[in-house]
Structure 1
Amino acid sequence: MKQLSPLERAVEYIEAHLNEDIGLGEVSRAAGYSYCHMTRLFSAVMGESVGRYIHRRRLYSAAEKLLHTDRRVLDIALDSGFASPEAFSRAFKAAFGQSPAAYRRAGLDLVTSAKRGLAPGDVEHIANNISHTPELVWQPEIKLAGIRGVTSLSDNRLPALWRQFLGLRAELLGPGSPGPGYGVCETQKTVYTKNGDVAFITLVGSPVKRLDGLPPPLVGKTVSAGKYAVFTHRGTLANLFITYQYIFGTWLPAAGEELDEREDFELYERPVTAFDDPDNEVKIFVPVR
């Protein structure tokens, strides 16, 4: 019997439990991945978050039932996880441009896949600005002092968080503190939102020798030691998502590596002077077993 990949296990679980109250937590557990890893993997390959995929699949399943059965719209709505026909109708119209009743009358199957295609700029970035073969390293434990903030797949708030931290760093950690910056996606603090988006709690900071006695609002964090696959991203930070898309959607399925439960993180060895600076360079550390 073929051994399923984590993504295949996730999709198989979703399809088997499509009409149940499931979300990112249940899907991650079924696939054997953490929230953060599953979100990155799923978004890279499928082009959308787990929550939005579930929502879309429920609507597409409902569309098929509208065309190929004579069941009442009310029953289809309830089976699809909607609390009322009105909520179902609003969501259906947003997805297909017409009400469930009009869709049934038209008799046209508009169900199509929603996987995000690659734009020409994406291809150029993947070809020229990503190290395609990562360096495998053993990274010792790192103590970080920094600040936490929330970002999401739909609303990148990391630039503002970095500006806030860099404004505090010299003042709170001393004039000799400037050095490499780290950004850590905190796996256990990922939040699955009602609209299908995913909000990440992220810590940005710098290495310190001790974590006790940090002046507020700084907080401490220890990044676990272990084996990491290290990729280099170059150019505008707006393309970081494309880099993660390559790592989790292309490299990981082909590499034969297994993700570990430790958190992935970004290392900025050189100061970032502008979000779109073509000379930006970020090292991405992906935990592997």
Structure 2
Amino acid sequence: MFLKTTTIEAKKMIGFSTKTSLTNDQTAKIWQQLMPRLKEIKNAVRADLFSLQEYDFKKFNDFSPSTEFIKYALIEVKNYDDIPENFEQFNLPSGKYAVFLHKGTFADFPKTAQYIFGEWLPKSEFELDDRPHFEVLGDNYKGHENTESEEEVWIPIK
């Protein structure tokens, strides 16, 4: 479901990353690194977590389940002054985003993606921009296997 378009300011984030694909999904590894260490982060902006993807923009139109991309498990911080050991820094650039609500399990996500990229985007006045895509896992996120789980899906547009 489409929620809105909005422009965000740049964000400072910390967490962990891995190279992955849909067929060789390594996402659990970075969340297993981040979650037990959240209490070490003293300057978080809020409790929301970010599941972020960096794609090779030139190859995005040919995306397949075996296409590799960089996946991040992140939290926004006020600054990089007190970063726990071994955490990576990530600077999310400012820009315009289309925001959607995904409700359901991870297995249901292809339906949401099909709506965004197959229906909404082609019919909109926007085109995909070459910036990170991300999901915000807030208060209504109940885990990737919970049918009542909700997350915001942020798609970069111009």
The question of a shared fold, defined as TM-score above 0.5 by the shorter chain, is answered with yes
RMSD: 2.7
Cα deviation for residue 197 of structure 1 reads 1.8
SS for the counterpart of 1:155 is coil
> For residues 179 and 158 of structure 1, what CA distance do their matches in structure 2 show?
20
Relative to its length, the structure with more helix (as a share) is: 1
Moved segments of 4+, more than 6 Å: 175-178
| Residue 201 (structure 1) aligns with | 70
Provide, for residues 154-179 of structure 1, a one-character-per-residue CA deviation record: whole Å limited to 9, x for no partner.
Answer: 13332342232111221x31498870
Shift in alpha-carbon separation, 1:198–1:176, aligned structure 2, 3 A = closer
Identity of aligned residues (%): 27
Task: Give the alignment partner of residue 146 of structure 1, picking from 15, 27, 32.
Answer: 15
Provide, for residues 32-57 of structure 1, a one-character-per-residue CA deviation record: whole Å limited to 9, x for no partner.
Answer: xxxxxxxxxxxxxxxxxxxxxxxxxx
Decide which structure has the larger Cα Rg and report it.
1
Shift in alpha-carbon separation, 1:226–1:177, aligned structure 2, 3 A = closer
> For residues 56 and 152 of structure 2, what CA distance do their matches in structure 1 show?
22
Task: Give the alignment partner of residue 186 of structure 1, picking from 54, 59, 65.
Answer: 54
Aligned length: 153
| Residue 227 (structure 1) aligns with | 96
Shift in alpha-carbon separation, 1:178–1:134, aligned structure 2, 3 A = closer
Unaligned runs of 5+ in 2: 60-64
Relative to its length, the structure with more strand (as a share) is: 2
Shift in alpha-carbon separation, 1:209–1:246, aligned structure 2, 3 A = same
| Residue 282 (structure 1) aligns with | 151
Cα deviation for residue 190 of structure 1 reads 9.9
TM-score (norm 2): 0.83
Cα deviation for residue 188 of structure 1 reads 5.0
Unaligned runs of 5+ in 1: 1-130
Provide, for residues 69-103 of structure 1, a one-character-per-residue CA deviation record: whole Å limited to 9, x for no partner.
Answer: xxxxxxxxxxxxxxxxxxxxxxxxxxxxxxxxxxx
| Residue 248 (structure 1) aligns with | 117
Which of structures 1 and 2 has the larger relative contact order (alpha carbons within 8 angstroms, sep 6+)? 2
> For residues 248 and 204 of structure 1, what CA distance do their matches in structure 2 show?
23
